[in-house]
Chain A
C-alpha cells in the first residue's frame, strides 16, 4: 500500500523528513499530494522507493539521490536529477533548466520539452551509464562538457513547433558519451570538435533498448518513434584540451 503525504502548505524540509520517516518505517511506495514548488524533494535518498509526485516540484528534485524511482505527474522546475547517482525520474510534462547536471547513473525520462544546459557534464563509470531521454525539444548548451552517458532527443512532443530540435552550442566541450537526435539539426548548432553522423545497426540496438522503457513510461508506440531517421553526436577526441599548454 502506498504511503501518502500531503505536501500542502508545508516546507520542503518537513516534506523530506516525512519521506525519510516513511522509508524508515518500510514504505516502498510513497505518494506526494499537493506539491507546490517544494525544493530538493528526495534529495540524497539512498533507497529503492517509488515516489509519485502530484503537483509541481521545485528546484533540484532528486538531487544526489541513489535509487528512488520518482514519477512526476506534471512539470518540474530546474535542476531535476542534479548529480544523481542511481534511480529514475519520469516527468509527465516539461522539465526546466540544468536537468541531470553531472549525473553519473540512472535515468531521466521527460515527456515534453526541457530548458537550457541539460545534461551538462554527465559522466559514466564502470557499469554506471546515465541516460536522459527527452520527448520534446531542448534549449542551448545541451550536453555541454559531457564526459559520458547518453542523451536522446526525440522532438515528438514539443510545445515549440517551429524551433529546431536543440538550441545552440549543442554538446560544446563534449569529450565522452553520445547524444542521439531523432531528425536533423543545422550544423551551426553543434559545438566544436564533434561529429554528426547517421546511426548504425549497433546504435539502433542500443537505442531501442532504452526507448522500449521510455515508451512504456508514457504509453507511446516504439515503432512510430524509431521509424524516423536518427543521428548521433560524438566527440572526435577524449582529450579536447590535451595540447593547450606550454610547459
Chain B
C-alpha cells in the first residue's frame, strides 16, 4: 500500500490543497454572553436557535457558542428560563475610520468570500434625513378650543376611490333634495391604516391569518402580496386587497374576485426596478398550492410586467382587471417612490387607477439586494408632498386616492402623512414588530426563530394566529386613539379636515428646498 502511494505521488507532483478561509466569519456582529452561574444547562437555547449558534460539548458537558452564526434575533435571550443569556454587539473593534466603517469592511469580506450579491431585509438602513422627525404638529391654544375625543364625536373614517369633480343635487317631485351624481364604488376604512402587501411565503400563514382578522375587526384592509390567497383566507374577502404582480402567481378569476380591490404592483420601495426571487427552498407544499407552482421551484417575478411598457399599457391592464371583475373592484397601482414620481403618478391616475400607492425608500421587504434597499428610491415624505401637489395642480387629485407606505413607525407619522396629502397609509414592519419581530433582518433565510418570516411547520407553531391577531389589533387600536387625540388637540373632529392641510405642519431644521417640496412653513413662521 505504502509503495503504491509513493508511486502515484511520483507520477503527479503533489498538489498543495489551498485551505479556504471565510473572512466574513472571523468578525461576528454579535457576541453571545452566557452567565455560567445562572445557566442550568437546559439546552432550550439550542432548540430555539434556528441558526445553530448554540451547541453542546458532549465531552466537557458545557454549552458552546458559535458567535459568527448569531444574527442578533434575541430569541435565545427571550426564551432562557434563567435569564443567563445576553446578546451584545461584538465589542471587538476595527481601527476607527469614518469612510471604512465595519459595515463596509465586512460586506467586502462577504463578497470576496462568495462572489455574490449582498442581500438584506427590511427597509433602507442608511441614516438619510427622516422628514417625519423634522415635522411637528399644531395644537389649539386659547383662540379655538381643542376637542376631547373621549367625550365628543371624532371621525377617522376614510373613503378610498375616485371622487367626482362636482356634485349635482336636484329636487325630486316631492320637493326633497337628492344626489344626482353617481358616486363610488368606494372602500370604507374605519382607520386610515391598512396592512401592506406581504406575501404568504415571505411571512407565515399565521401572520396572514392574524392580519386578515385584525383588518376585519378594525374595519380596514390587508394585502395578500404576490403569493396568492390561502384557502383559509377567502372568508375575509371584504377586508382583502389582492395583488397582481409581474409573476402572476396564484392569480386566477376567483382570486381577483375574492377581495374588494386589486393592487397592480409595479414597484416596491425596498427594491425599485427589480423583480423578486422566492427561492425554491421556501416553496413548500402549502405555498406551492397557493402560488400554483411546483414544490421546490424558484418563484421568479420579472422586473417589469411584460404586458406593461407604457402608461397606455398600464391602462390596458387596469381595464382588463376591471372588465374581468365587472367593475366591482377598485384597482390600486403601487409604485416605488422614485425621482419622477409626480409625473408617473399623474400618468397612473390618467390611466384609470382608483388608488395610487407610493412606497418609499424605507419600505420593507423580506429580501432585497442591499444596494437597492439602501440606495434606490426617494423618501416617501418628499414623494408624497410632490405627488399630491402635482395632482392638485393638474386638477386631478380627486380622481384617485393616494396611499403611502415605507417607514411609518408611529401614529404621529400617520397624522403627518395625512396632513401632507395622503388618504391613508400602509404599514408592514410595525405589524411584524407587534408580533415579536426584533428586526434582525434575516427574513430571506426562511429560518425566522420568531415564527414570522417562515413557513417551516415547526417554526410556524411559535406564533399562533390568535396571538398575531391580538397583538396587531392592539397596535392599531392604540394608534387610532392617538390619532383621535392629535386631531382633537388641533381642533379637528374628522380626519377629512386634516387631509392635505399642510398648515397644521411646521418644519424644524429643514432648508429652503426641503420646505418648498414639502409645502410646509418653518416653525416660527
Contacts and interface: CB of A to CB of B under 8 A. Distances in A.
Contacts of A123: 292-293
B256 interface: yes
Interface in A23-59: 39-40, 43-44, 46, 59
Interface in A62-82: 63-66, 78-79, 82
Interface string A141-182: 000110110000000000000000000000001011000000
A98 B306 contact: yes
A169 to B, nearest CB: 12
Interface in B183-224: none
B247 interface: yes
B292 A125 contact: yes
Interface of A: 12-13, 16, 20, 39-40, 43-44, 46, 59-60, 63-66, 78-79, 82-83, 85, 98, 101-102, 104, 117, 120-121, 123-125, 128, 144-145, 147-148, 173, 175-176, 238-247
Given A44-B325, A102-B247, A247 B253 contact: no
Contacts of A13: 323, 327
A66 B293 CA distance: 18
Interface residues of B, number: 41
Contacts of B293: 123, 125, 147-148
Contacts of B323: 12-13, 16, 39-40, 43-44, 63
A46 B327 CA distance: 16
Interface stretch (B110-118, B156-164, B448-456): B110-118
Contact of A246 (B116, B246, B256, B325): B116
A44 B115 CA distance: 45
Contacts of B118: 245-246
A85 B277 contact: no
Nearest to A40: B323
Contacts of A40: 319-320, 323-324
Residue among A104, A128, A247 facing the most chain B CB atoms (10 A cut-off): A247
A173 B300 contact: yes
A104 B255 CA distance: 14
Contacts of B327: 13
A115 to B, nearest CB: 12
B77 to A, nearest CB: 22
8 contacts: A79-B316, A120-B306, A123-B292, A128-B292, A239-B298, A244-B117, A245-B118, A246-B119
A196 B306 CA distance: 25
Interface centre among A13, A16, A64 (most CB of B within 10 A): A64
B509 interface: no
Contacts of B324: 40, 43-44, 63-64
B113 A241 contact: no
B440 to A, nearest CB: 13
B81 interface: no
B292 A101 contact: no
The 8 lowest CB-CB distance pairs between A and B, nearest first, are A44-B324, A246-B116, A102-B248, A40-B323, A246-B114, A125-B292, A43-B323, A43-B324
B134 interface: no
B320 A39 contact: yes
A84 to B, nearest CB: 9
A46 B255 CA distance: 12
B251 A238 contact: no
Interface in B407-454: 444-445
A121 B116 contact: no
Nearest to A243: B116
A104 B253 contact: no
Nearest to A59: B316
A63 B323 CA distance: 9
A85 B292 CA distance: 11
B145 interface: no
B279 interface: yes
Given A44-B324, A246-B117, 12 more contacts: A20-B326, A39-B316, A44-B325, A60-B307, A60-B317, A60-B320, A121-B302, A148-B293, A238-B297, A245-B369, A246-B110, A247-B110
